[in-house]
Amino acid sequence: MSSHDYNRYRVDVEGGRLSVGVWEPVTSGPGPVPTVCVIHGITSNHLFFAGLVSALPGVRVIGLDLRGRADSRTLPGPFGMSAHARDVRAAVDAFADDGPVTLVGHSMGGFVAMTLAAESRTTGAEAARTFRGPVLIDGGLPLPLDEPSSGHPVDDLNDEDLDTDDLIAAVLGPAAERLSMSFSTVEEYLAFFAAHPAFVDGLDTVATESFVYDLAAKDDHSFQPSTSVEVMQADSADMYTGADYRRALETIMADQPSQSEVMFLYAERDLVASEPGLYPPELVADYARQWPHLSVIDVQGTNHFDILLTETGIDACAEAVTSRLGAVVDGVVD
């Protein structure tokens, strides 16, 4: 028997209607149902969290397709972390009960979660009680970046001379290449991922359903990923150089109580299953020294994607989330 009932809805946002999936728990403890909002990565969609949802019995989980992706792909800009944060708040307002909501962000979703969490802390005491966390899964903290043309680290990520194409090539090059491809059949798209180094152990049901859901049909009956390179470019540039995220990071990390609510889980390997991961151990150690109240969890044996697919990754993520919700009693969160 499934732990949740799942339904998908539309929510009015700027420029159109946002697609939102809601997993309602089949059973829950007494009192209000605890609520989590999951925010996906730059070329992903909300179904990528389905494995984590199964590990959260008794918890309502709200997941949206960020504008420009999957079933929200026709929503226009503006893009960027603040625009996505506004959409997340609209989804939360539509489906969450009164009371705190725990934010969980994977990859770019972590940057969105940080932006929203900071905004709630600067708009009054009542709003500050709205969110817990965020729980950041291999994202949400500043990424290292080597400028490909020079081989030297970029010291100032707010440098206006940085070329956006270089930013994308440094970290998201393979993803940008995939977004430009067309596929004759759904099976061809799944075969592409089956051959991807991050999925050498095969595609499970969660990954398969998320990838199929991501595909958009073209007029010639072929398929392409739903996220355009232009959308990824806009969000990638804002993630690295946008002032809103930088202000959010400073707001949260400068305050000890807020900093102590942040949990950061990082994978051992990166987007192509190479070491080091997206966050090298030495960078994480620097962050731990810089922000001593930040909770840091090293999820060994996982890469940037399967941290949400493997038993090891899901267990670590679920434990982090439940620690933000409250005590777990007999498998149900109080």
Q: What's the CATH code of the domain at 260?
A: 3.40.50.1820
- Lowest mean pLDDT: which of 39-53, 110-124, 141-155, 288-302? 141-155
- Complete DSSP assignment for 142-195: PPP-B-TTT-SB-S-TT-TT--HHHHHHHHTHHHHHHHT--BSSHHHHHHHHHT
pLDDT in tens, 17-57: 999 999 999 987 777 899 999 999 999 999 999 999 999 99
Query: Which pLDDT tens digit goes with each residue over 73-93?
Result: 999 999 999 999 999 999 999
Contact in structure between 275 and 268 (CB atoms under 8 Å): yes
Domain-located, residue 333: no
What is the count of structural domains for the chain?
Answer: 1
Determine, yes or no, domain membership for 12.
yes
Contact in structure between 16 and 77 (CB atoms under 8 Å): no
Establish if 230 belongs to a structural domain.
yes
Question: Which residues constitute the domain of residue 15?
Answer: 4-327
SS3 per-residue string spanning 283-300: HHHHHHHHCCCCEEEEEC
**332 in a structural domain:** no
